[in-house]
Amino acid sequence: MAMQPILSLRGVHKHFIQHLRGGLRLDVLAGVDLDLHPGECVVLDGPSGVGKSSLIKAVYGTYRVDGGHIVVAGTDIAVAGPRAIMALRRTTIGHVSQFLRVVPRVAALDIVAEPARARGDTPEVARGKAADLLRRLNLPEKLWSLPPATFSGGEQQRVNIARGFVVDWPLLLLDEPTASLDAENAAVVAQLIDEAKDRGTAILAICHDGVLRARIATRLLPMKRVEQAA
């Protein structure tokens, strides 16, 4: 029997009403289909503004879609309520956004460890995994006990990446994970992605860096601008 996809998109539609532009309707996603299997890395491919981030946000349950199905591990996120979405975020879907959502007064090490704690690891085990990742991503150890609010963009992004990789997620969403990183740390991220794929994580990614994209993508999902109704 063929392996079940971890993520299935069928006919996903999304539009925005742009209130600052006189209520203009902007159709962004029109009938997006995809099956994503364990161990695959599909990179969304298309020009700026085509809807790549919107699709990632829809799969994470942040944006509600207007039509179609987004099935993750048997749950249709297109129609799921907030509890079901929060449960999937705890157990199944990891997300590395472009920017770290800084939690005041929580140390970087604990921010990274938190998803592993939420999945049942003891504090020691979770912190050990967090420390391994922060070390691999070259975050100076003296920063680990500090809240990341004052960290540089690249330091915050490395905390964010470590948080995304601290759990073996069945599905991992990556939105420009190396945008603020130097070449050395971008290479570490490429390695982390390879290892996650080998463990069976399915990855849906946005990645403008052509070299990294060629390295990580098992396939591209071409996205085209939607024709707007006159």
In the complex, the residues that contact ligand ATP under the rule CB under 6 A are 16, 18, 26, 28, 48-54
Which lies closer to ligand ATP via its Cβ, residue 54 or residue 185? 54
3-state helix, strand, coil in the chain (%, to 5): 40, 25, 35
Minimum distance of ligand ATP from residue 83's CB (angstroms)? 23
Which lies closer to ligand ATP via its Cβ, residue 29 or residue 116? 29
Extract the runs of DSSP E, i.e. beta strands, from the chain.
7-18, 24-36, 41-45, 67-72, 75-76, 93-96, 171-175, 202-206, 219-222
Both structure tokens of 177: 């994970």
Minimum distance of ligand ATP from residue 173's CB (angstroms)? 13
Which lies closer to ligand ATP via its Cβ, residue 48 or residue 124? 48
Measured CA distances, 170 to 48, 98, 159 (Å)? 28, 20, 21
Measured CA distances, 2 to 70, 76, 153, 194, 226 (Å)? 20, 21, 42, 23, 32
Q: Count other C-beta atoms under 10 Å from residue 43's C-beta.
A: 21
Both structure tokens of 91: 């157990």
Minimum distance of ligand ATP from residue 140's CB (angstroms)? 30
Minimum distance of ligand ATP from residue 216's CB (angstroms)? 17
Minimum distance of ligand ATP from residue 44's CB (angstroms)? 7
Which lies closer to ligand ATP via its Cβ, residue 28 or residue 137? 28
At a CB cut-off of 8 Å and minimum separation 6, what does 145 contact?
107, 108, 109
Which lies closer to ligand ATP via its Cβ, residue 29 or residue 161? 29
